[in-house]
Amino acid sequence: MERHLNDDSAYLQSFELFLENSTEHQSVKNFVHTTLPDILARIGAGESNLNVMGVGSGSGEIDLEILKLLREKHPDAKVENEVVEPSNDMLNKYRALLSKTPALEDVTFTWNKMTATEFEDEWKKRNSDKKMHFISLIQMLYYVKDPEATVSFYRSLLHKNGKILVILVTRESAWGRLMNVYKDQLAQEGATLHVTTTDVKSYLDSKKVPYQSYKFKSLLDITECFTPEDKKGEEILDLLTEVIDFSKTAPPELKDEVVEFLKNPINNLEVNGKILFDCSMEALLIDA
Ligand SMILES: C[S@@+](CC[C@H](N)C(=O)[O-])C[C@H]1O[C@@H](n2cnc3c(N)ncnc32)[C@H](O)[C@@H]1O
């Protein structure tokens, strides 16, 4: 089974299909606009320079939303944003979106086309003592080998009043359970596809690191997954399992089991003839 992430354009296409058919970005933006304004206002209060960072930022829709809020809260501060994102296609889309966002034209961007782990070496090379006020790790810890080590490294970059925002699916969500049930069959080298906020919270609790948690719903339309040979249905199976051509390359028993899992009414919601898969998420705002 070939890995999605090894193919930049396949991954981008799949991510776009996911966004088109789910409430993900709407839910995350809703969280950003209801919860983050006060937090962002406090984070850099009185400072003339604000350093922020997005890791696995994708095409930037969410990070730019956060930056716009930060700009509104601190109109006189100089804002510098580091972007860490390994996919060229994603970075190109991000830059295109930024060029259409005049509110951010005076923010300085540094583009790091690399993985979260590669950036750790890059940071050591820079030998910088810069501290970050806000770091976002949104829906990306699935793609690192050791999510706890990644959280720990990025936390070490925080300013004393800074925060890290981690968003992942919850363990209880249908997607979280799917990845957990099939973690061995779907495992991929260098990734931890089954990680959920439950894992991150137990790590934080064990280190006595304070954080706040916010849960929100997100649904993915999987109706077409039950029509044999349907192209869109097959592409949705690919994005759920992170495998290219899952329907054709997975062992047939695994494919049948995954489809049965999706079909099970405990894991979905039927609304107006559409089958919606539960991809509920949790946001953790972690202190320095
Ligand atoms: C599900 S997307 C989320 C994008 C964005 N944060 C959002 O919520 O819209 C995951 C992103 O992580 C990136 N990614 C994959 N492997 C990574 C790694 N090892 N380090 C950092 N980012 C990675 C992907 O290229 C992709 O842009």
CATH code, 159: 3.40.50.150
The amino acid at residue 29 is: K
- DSSP lists the bridge partners of residue 271 as 274
Q: Say if residues 285 and 212 touch (Cβ distance below 8 Å).
A: yes
119 Cβ closer than 6 Å to some ligand 1 atom? no
Whether residue 90 has its Cβ less than 6 Å from ligand 1: yes
> Residue 189 corresponds to which tokens in the numbers above?
């080298």
DSSP string, 113-142: -S-HHHHHHHHHHHT----EEEEEEES-GG
- Residues 264, 267, 271: CA angle, nearest 5 degrees: 95
What spacing in Å lies between the alpha carbon of 46 and ligand 1's midpoint?
A: 32
pLDDT of residue 284: 98
Range of the domain at 62: 22-171+182-222+277-287
Tally the domains of the chain.
1
- Return mean pLDDT, the chain: 96
Residue 46 maps to a domain? yes
Take atom 9 of ligand 1 and give the residue whose Cα is closest. Answer: 58
Pocket test for ligand 1, best of 22, 122, 143, 193 (most atoms within 8 A of CB): 143
Ligand 1 in contact with 115 (CB < 6 A)?
yes
Q: How confident is the model at residue 8 (pLDDT cuts 50, 70, 90)?
A: confident
Q: Does any ligand 1 atom lie closer than 6 A to the CB of residue 142? A: no
Ligand 1 within 6 A of 140 CB? yes
Report CA(210)–ligand 1 centroid distance (Å). Answer: 25
Residue from 200, 219, 59 nearest 142 by CA = 200
- In angstroms, how far apart are the furthest CA atoms of the chain? 60
Q: Give every CB contact of residue 272 below 8 A, 6+ residues apart in sequence.
A: none
Q: Please report whether residue 186 resides in a domain.
A: yes
User: Distance from the CA of 128 to the center of ligand 1, in angstroms?
Assistant: 24
Query: Ligand 1, from 140, 154, 179, 193: best to mutate by most atoms within 8 Å of Cβ?
Result: 140
Return d(Cα 145, Cα 189) in angstroms, integer.
8
pLDDT at 4: 76
Answer whether residue 176 is part of any domain: no
Burial class (CB in 10 A: 0-12, 13-18, 19+), 125: exposed
Assess whether pLDDT exceeds 80 at residue 3: no
Q: Rounded to the nearest whole angstrom, what is the distance from the C-alpha of residue 186 to the centroid of ligand 1?
A: 18
Task: Tell how far the Cα of 287 is from the centroid of ligand 1, in angstroms.
Answer: 22
Tally Cβ neighbours within 10 Å of residue 159: 17
| Residue 6 included in any domain | no
Residue 257 lies in a domain: no
- pLDDT digits 0-9 by tens, 11-58: 999 999 999 999 999 999 999 999 999 999 999 888 999 999 999 999
Beta bridge partners of 167: 138, 283
Residue 230 phi/psi, 5-degree rounding, is: -70, 125
Residue 246 lies in a domain: no
pLDDT of 286 over the 80 cut = yes
Residue-level pLDDT at 5? 73
The helix or strand, by DSSP H or E, that contains position 51, with its residue range, turns out to be strand 49-55
In a domain, 115, yes or no: yes
- Mean per-residue pLDDT for 90-104? 97
Integer Cα distance of 140 and 152 in angstroms: 15
Closest CA to 148 of 85, 214, 192: 192
Is residue 47 one of the residues assigned to a domain? yes
* 62 touches ligand 1 (CB under 6 Å): yes
Interval 190-218: pLDDT, tens: 999 999 999 999 999 999 999 999 999 99
Q: What is the DSSP string of 7-45?
A: SHHHHHHHHHHHHHHBSHHHHHHHHHHHHHHHHHHHHTT
Distance 170 CA to ligand 1 centre (A): 17
Q: Per residue in 255-285, pLDDT tens?
A: 999 999 999 999 999 999 999 999 999 999 9
Going by alpha carbons, the residue nearest to atom 19 of ligand 1 is: 115
